[in-house]
Amino acid sequence: MTDRRLTRLLAREMAHGLRAGEFSARELVEAHLDLVHATDRGLHAWLFLDEEAARAAADLADARLADARREGSAALDALPLLLGVPLGLKDLVVTRGQTSTAGSRILEGFVGPFDATIAARIREAGAVVLGKTNMDEFAMGSSTEHSAWGPTANPWNLGRVPGGSSGGSAAAVAAYQVPLAIGTDTGGSIRQPAALCGVAGIKPTYGRVSRYGIVAFASSLDQVGPLARDARDLAALLQVIAGRDVRDSTSSPVPVPDYLASLPEGDDEAAAALRGLRLGLPREYFGAGMEPGVEARVREAAAALESAGAEIVDVSLPHTEYGLATYYLIAPAEASANLARYDGIRFGHSSRQGDVLANYLATRGTGFGPEVKRRIVLGTYALSAGYYDAYYVKAQKARTLIKADFDAAFERVDALVAPTSPTVAFPLGARTQDPVAMYLSDTCTLPVNVAGLPGLSVPCGLSDGLPVGLQIIGPAWDEAGILRIARAYEAITADAGWRRLDPADLPALDDPKTPAPGLPAGTAV
């Protein structure tokens, strides 16, 4: 049995320990793999582990560390920060020689012929990929219940959802199975599960991170980002994956700052960054459907920021009410086009029922789940000849108005603070039969994607024993700014009692009798 204390370290602490020779990358990887094997039955955060590749990457990291130690401290300092640190990839990141299913049966058996740009950058940085994490099929969902391979549970309460669609990544980080994970965010799919699982997650500005090699959902909305247990670890992983990629025409040439260097180590210095900041509190984000406990924690967080020197300004984003409708016209329309490529001929699942048309219909009929089919139908309808102007074009006009609201707000304030999710984690199965209720889970996050802005979620306390997330939204390309605010909030709440609490159901994950998510006790899997 390996030492589980290694799994409780932050990524930066792991990096320091590796350089100091306190433990090896191989020991670090074995500790995390052992924890996954021991606890993932009741969590189901992982769809695929590549243990052989992970051990080989760890051994390579140990060799680089040994060489650098012989050369001296300068050589050690020159090593990539995340060398030897384990992480997980959401199952829509294509990796060479490994399965990538995007949580869908239509990609069952698909093995990546190349590495996505972010996967290649992570390997170049020396981080160790343990495998692929669970997700809603094609990232369509807010609960990770729409995975073709079964749902993921929330480690705070195994009867509740972890959020989605990056629920596997968020749950794995919250349960200490990895210190870092990659998610994608089309309408809140990094920030919402981060909030529900009590971890941190950032959606960068659209175009900040390459989407090359990422299985597409809605191309004008999708963005890749990290999940971690604090803001500085977010910054460390974002540094690795951000930047221009010639293979992605939507990736931006805007220079990438040194995110981690801009975040102070000391709490006093971090908190001092709040003095003089103007932070907007959008009134439209506290509407119907907001749980009282969630609103209370977010307003307490705003008050704490104000007490530390920030000015809290009441702002209005008047077109927020159109965000949900706008998103659910644009995203399904783009999804219907992107998913047309899954025809049973080129890759993945194929059902042979007769002629070409019969095979095509059977493949898509058996390969896609109900939520994906629902969005394809909605998107195809919105793009049809008789309704394109009435729906899709009108949604794009509303998108412009939503973006203009944010632009006007940022003329008055440096950033916005708001709830990440209107509720805490809801019970498994509670919303699967009510798509509209599920869609409402993302009302606080969708406008940020529609406007293409950076948004971040950090824990800000508990409501009914479950985590609440504080969302920080910044102007385009200002990931460094919202990371500094998140780091400052962590500093001013460092002594809060809820920060020392582990997810309540971690002990149950060690019990072999704990059932897989969504199954009754005693069910064999």
- Alpha-carbon gap, residue 195 to 470, rounded angstroms: 7
Task: With H, G, I as helix, E, B as strand and everything else as coil, classify residue 415.
Answer: strand
Contact, 90 vs 119, CB < 8 A? no
Q: CA-to-CA distance for 356 and 214, rounded, in angstroms?
A: 28
Q: Going by C-beta distance under 8 Å and a sequence separation of 6 or more, which residues neighbour residue 108?
A: 101, 148, 348, 349, 367
DSSP structure class, residue 111: B
Cα angle vertex 300, ends 295, 306, to 5°? 130
Reduced 3-state DSSP string for 441-501: HHCCCHHHHHHCCCEEEEEEEEECCEEEEEEEECCCCCHHHHHHHHHHHHHHCCCCHHHHC
Task: Determine how many CB atoms are found less than 10 A away from the CB of residue 77.
Answer: 10
Q: Active-site residue 165, yes or no?
A: yes
Amino acid at 387: Y
90 is catalytic: yes
- Strand spans (E) along 164-263: 180-184, 200-203, 224-228
| CA distances in angstroms from 103 to 145, 165, 169, 250, 362, listed in the order given | 10, 10, 13, 25, 19
Reported in sequence order, the residue ranges of 38-195 that DSSP labels E, i.e. its strands, are 46-49, 86-90, 128-133, 180-184
82 in Cβ contact with 61 (< 8 Å): no
Cα separation, 456 vs 416, whole angstroms: 10
Please name which of 178, 142, 140, 137 lies closest in space to residue 43, comparing C-alpha atoms: 178
The neighbour count for residue 113, using CB atoms within 10 Å, is: 10
Preceding amide of 24 cis, omega within 30: no
Looking at residue 203, its amino acid is K
Residue 351 burial (CB count, 10 A): 16
CA Rg value for the chain: 22
Catalytic residue among 165, 336, 421, 457: 165
104, 189, 251, 421: which is the annotated catalytic residue?
189
**Which stretch of DSSP H or E encloses residue 278?**
strand 278-282
Hey, is 435 helix, strand or coil?
A: helix
Q: Is residue 441 flagged as an active site residue?
A: no
Could you write out the DSSP letters of every residue in 314-371?
EE--GGGGGHHHHHHHHHHHHHHHHGGG--SSSSS-----SSHHHHHHHHHHHHS-HH
Q: Annotated active-site positions, please?
A: 90, 165, 189
